[in-house]
Chains A and B, each alone.
Chain A
Amino acid sequence: MKKLLFMILAVVMVVALFAACTPEPVAPVEDVVEDVVDDVEEVVDEVVDEVVDEVVEEPSGYELAMITDIGDIDDKSFNQGTWEGIVEYAEANGVTHKYYKPTEKSTDAYVAAIDLAVAGGAMVIVTPGFLFEPAIFQAQDMYPEISFILLDGFPQDGTYTEFRIEANVYSIFYAEQQSGFMAGYAAVMDGYTKLGFMGGMAVPAVVRFGYGFAQGAEYAAAQMGIDAIELKYHYTGNFDATPENQTMAASWYGAGTEVIFAAGGKVGNSVMAAAEAADGKVIGVDVDQGSESDTVITSAKKELAISVQQGLAGYYAGEFKGGVSEVLDITVDAVGLPFATSRFNQFTQADYDAIYAALVADTDGIASAILGDADVAAAGELPLTIVSVTVFE
C-alpha cells in the first residue's frame, strides 16, 4: 500500500516537473496563485472581469433561453412541451438556445435564473408557468431590452395587488377548460359514466382542466340522455409519482371508477400504474401521453410548442406581441385531443370533429359557457345537474 502511494507521488512529482517546463498553460495559473497570496480580492475582480469580458465578447451566447418551472426539462409535460417548441424553432432557424433550471422554487431563484440567462446572452426568455408572474414583474423593468414570453401567467407583484405588463412581455394563457371539456365529453360519449379527476396542485391551469372536464361530461350526458354521471375530484397537492397517489387511484378504480383524468405531471404515472393493475383507464394531460401506457385513452392537450414557436416567429419578424396578454383557445388550435393516437371505443373522428367545430364556432354559446377557474370557487359549486361531483380534500 505504501509502495503504491510512493509510486503515485513520484509520478505526480515528475509530471509536475515537466508541466513546469512547458510555459503556456501553467504560467497564468502560477500568476493567479501569486495574486491570491498578494491580494485575494484583486483576483476575484479579475476573474469576474474575465467572465464578463467573455460574455460580452461572445456575440452568439445563447439567444433563446427558457427557465424551467418546478419539475424538470424532461417532465413529459409542461416544461418539456415548451422546450421542444423552442428547440424545434431554434434548430430550424439556426438560433442558439439553452435552458436554465432555477435552484429552487422561489421568485428570487427565478430572477437569478433570468439574470444568468441574460448574462449568457439571451435575447428572448421563455418562462412557463404562473409561478413566474412575480419574477417577470421585476425582470420586465430590469431588462427592458430583453423580450419575455410568459406562459400561463400575467406579470404581477407577487401579492396580486399590482398587475402591469410592459412592452417587452408577451403573456400567453390557454383555455385549458376547453381541453378538459373535450376530454370529459369524449369520455362520456365513449361510454364511461364513472369518472375521476386527479389534479396536481390546485394551480389555475389545473383547476381549469378539472372544471372543463366536469362540464364536458355534463354536456355529453345531456346530449346522450344519460341521467347520472359520477365524478370523484381531488387535488393531490404535488406533481410526483408517489404510493399515496397510486393508492388513491387504485382505491377509486376499486370502487368502480372507470377512467381517471390525471392532470398533474408525474401524478399521471401513479394513476397509470394503478390503472394497469386494476384494468382502468387514464386520460393524460398537456401533451400526448398515449405512448406511456396502454391504459391512456386520450390526452387533454395544450399546444405549448406551437404557441411558443408562433411567439418566437413573431419576435424575429419584428412583430413581437409585447404588452399583449391573450388566451389561446380552440379557435387558434391551441387546445384539443390527439385523436389519431387515442384509444376510443365508440367516440368517432366524426364526433370529435363535430364537437371541435361546435367549440370553434361557439354554436349556441357552448364554448363561452364553459366556466373557468375564476368563475366558481370550488368544483362542488359548478352548476351541474347530471354529473354529481364528490370532492375530496
Chain B
Amino acid sequence: MQNEILFFILAFIAVVSSLTMISAHRPIDSALSFIVTLISIAALFALTNATFLFVVQLIIYAGAILSLIIFIIMFLNIKDDNLPDEKYKNRWLLATSIIISPFSAILIDLILRSDIAIKSVSDTKFGTIQDVGLTLFSEWVLPFELVSILLLVALVGSVTLSKREN
C-alpha cells in the first residue's frame, strides 16, 4: 500500500516536470525540470528493487549528462535573440498532442486488457550489484564489449566534430 502511494506521487512529479520540460521557453528551465524527471524516474527504479540501476541513473544521467547539458547552455552564453521565437509553440504542442494521444490511448487500452502482472519478486538478492554483474559478465559479455567500442567511437567523433578548422 505504501509503495502504491509513493508510486503515484513519483509518477505525478515525473509527468508534471516532463510537461514543464517540453513547454519551457528557455533551455535552462527545461534542463532543470528534466533533472527532476530523471531523479523521480531513479526513485521509481529504487521502488522496483533495482538498486544498482538507481545508483547508475543518479550518477550518469542526473549527475553527468545533465550537468554536461547545463555546462553547455552556460558555455554557449545563449541570449534571448539566439533562441527560436516559436510564436505558435502552444498551438504546435496542442496539435501534436491531439495527434499522438490516440496512439497512446490504444497502447494503454492494450496494457489494461492484457494479463501481464505475473508475480512480484521476493528474492532479496535481486537487482543488487552482484546479481547484475553476474548476468552482465556471463550472458551479456559481447554487448558489453561492443559498448566500449561505441564509447571510443563517440569520443573520437566528438573531438573531431568540435575541432576548429583553419
Say if A and B assemble together.
Answer: no
Give the B-binding residues of A (Cβ under 8 A).
none
Give the A-binding residues of B (Cβ under 8 A).
none
